[in-house]
Amino acid sequence: MAVLRFAEVDQDALAQLLARYNLQVITSDDSTDIPGSFWGDEEAGLIDNRLYCRNDTPLHSALHEACHYICMDQSRRKGLHTDAGGDFDEENGVCYLQILLSEHLKDMGKHRMFSDMDEWGYSFRLGSAQRWFEEDAEDARDWLIQHNLIDQHQLPSWQNRI
């Protein structure tokens, strides 16, 4: 199964979701490199508060990079260009939050996100994104709660990490 791509989703809904975090979604021309893309190819890019996507950008990549922006502290966010950085705990928080935010996009949802993450090769100890999320991600959830990015009911706070 192919992963869900930026061109296949309601881009206005994605832009509205991410605008809650002061992130702007910018569509890059299909014939050019994506500005701010750390991995290159079709992977989403970050520069300042702008998330760059092409039509072939996987939606999981767009949400993953957006969640890096949300989860990084203010000092890193101010100088953001291409490399989101972060440590192991933050990376886990990013993965967890991208799953939660996928539920706010009618074209995605967490089960499609699980499938796309597995298809793309995200690596989790239990062998799948869903098993990690449901059985092994308490540390990621706690990290997000500690930084006021979600509440005890796993609902987004709609604010960036301070």
One-character DSSP codes across 142-157: HHHHHTTSB-TTS-B-
- CB distance 39 to 31 below 8 Å: no
115 is in which domain, residue-wise?
6-146
Q: In the prediction, which pLDDT does 81 show?
A: 97
Instruction: Give the pairing of strands 50-53 and 45-47.
Output: antiparallel
Instruction: Give domain status of residue 137, yes or no.
Output: yes
Instruction: Give domain status of residue 1, yes or no.
Output: no
Would you write out the chain's pLDDT as a tens digit for each of its 162 residues?
Answer: 699 999 999 999 999 999 999 999 999 999 999 999 998 999 999 999 999 999 999 999 999 999 999 999 999 999 999 999 999 999 999 999 999 999 999 999 999 999 999 999 998 878 899 999 999 999 999 999 999 999 999 999 999 999
Instruction: Give domain status of residue 157, yes or no.
Output: no
Instruction: Give domain status of residue 115, yes or no.
Output: yes
Instruction: Give domain status of residue 151, yes or no.
Output: no
- CB distance 102 to 18 below 8 Å: no
> What's the structural domain count of the chain?
1
Instruction: Give domain status of residue 123, yes or no.
Output: yes
Instruction: Give domain status of residue 93, yes or no.
Output: yes
Rounded Cα distance between 56 and 44, Å, is 10
Instruction: Give domain status of residue 109, yes or no.
Output: yes
Rounded Cα distance between 19 and 17, Å, is 6
Q: In the prediction, which pLDDT does 146 show?
A: 98
Q: In the prediction, which pLDDT does 125 show?
A: 79
